[in-house]
A and B are shown apart, each in its own frame.
Chain A
């Protein structure tokens, strides 16, 4: 069964460094998302992406964040200058319908900023 994959599974970085989190959505899906979950808290929406553009973004998704679909398969989240509070699990999701499709989540990347 097709699934969303994410790499790396864990990343440790120093404050101020740039990180790129990678996702491969399910192949026939058109909508892509990033969410984050700070340890022990709820899952929060960051951004959605469709047709090579951002569809919606939350207040969390400030200028330090960017997303890109560099080729036909990958979907990336870049954090330009990481802060301690960026430490979280980052989930990628994808969906395939024009309507409110189910969003299927990847296994997540656990980011730790020191």
Chain B
């Protein structure tokens, strides 16, 4: 069975601090995809990144970076120099390589950035 664990329920930081959101996954599939989504207070789900299981290269996009490590089944997300607008719930999600199958979400981490 597939499972995503986001052990951090809530994180509070002050603006300009760096913050890392942890994601640990479980799957028996050799090919799978990992995602991060952002859910701001307005409620929509915003896609941030997709990573397949064969691509362990870390990725940086502006202040966001992702560290994928198959050895520890982790796909962590770091926000550098956090801003108030980063305040949201962040979800890590997992799916296998079969079309039309479910995204399995973690419980989410609520990030609060204060000024």
A residues contacting B by CB (< 8 A) are 31, 33, 35, 41-45, 48-50, 55-56, 58, 89, 91, 93, 97-108, 110
Contact between B105 and A43, CB atoms less than 8 A apart: yes
24 contacts between A and B (CB under 8 A): A31-B100, A33-B102, A33-B103, A41-B107, A42-B107, A43-B45, A45-B103, A48-B100, A50-B99, A55-B101, A89-B43, A91-B45, A99-B99, A100-B33, A100-B97, A100-B98, A100-B101, A101-B99, A102-B50, A105-B37, A106-B44, A107-B42, A107-B44, A108-B45
- Interface size, chain B (Cβ < 8 Å): 28
Choose from A33, A50, A104 the contact partner of B47 (Cβ within 8 Å).
Answer: A104
Per the bound structure, the CA–CA distance linking A110 and B97 in Å amounts to: 30
Q: How far is the CB of A32 from chain B (nearest CB, A)?
A: 9
A50 to B42, CA, bound (A): 29
Which positions 73-105 of chain B face chain A at CB distance < 8 Å? Answer: 91, 93, 95-105
Interface, chain B (partner A; CB < 8 A): 32-33, 35, 37, 42-47, 50, 52, 91, 93, 95-108
CA–CA, A91 and B52, complex, Å: 24
Within the assembled complex, what's the spacing in Å between the Cα atoms of A89 and B43? 9
CB-based nearest B residue for A9:
B43
* Inter-chain contact B102/A43, CB cutoff 8 Å: no
Is B43 touching A100 in the complex (CB atoms < 8 A)? no
Beta-carbon contact of B43 and A108 below 8 Å: yes
